[in-house]
Amino acid sequence: MHSEERRESYRLVDLSKATCNLIDGDDRIQGTLKNLSRTGFFIEAERQPEISKSYGIEIILQGSHSRLVVDDLFGVVTRADGEGVAVEFSKSFEWLVLAPIFF
Helix (H) / strand (E) element for 99: namely: helix 99-102
Q: How far apart are CA 58 and CA 3, in angstroms?
A: 32
> What pLDDT, in 10s, does the model give residues 60-93?
988 788 888 999 999 999 999 998 999 999 999 9
Closest CA to 19 of 6, 9, 29, 11: 29
What is the predicted pLDDT for the residue at 95? 86
* pLDDT at residue 11 is higher than 70: no
- Full set of structural domains in the chain with CATH: 11-95 (2.40.10.220)
Task: Read off the pLDDT of each residue in 37-58 and give the average, rounded to a whole number.
Answer: 95
Instruction: Assign 4 a pLDDT band (cuts: 50, 70, 90).
Output: very low
How many degrees, rounded to 5, is the angle at CA 78 between CA 40 and CA 26?
85
Supply the pTM of this predicted model. Answer: 0.82
> What pLDDT, in 10s, does the model give residues 49-61?
999 999 999 999 8
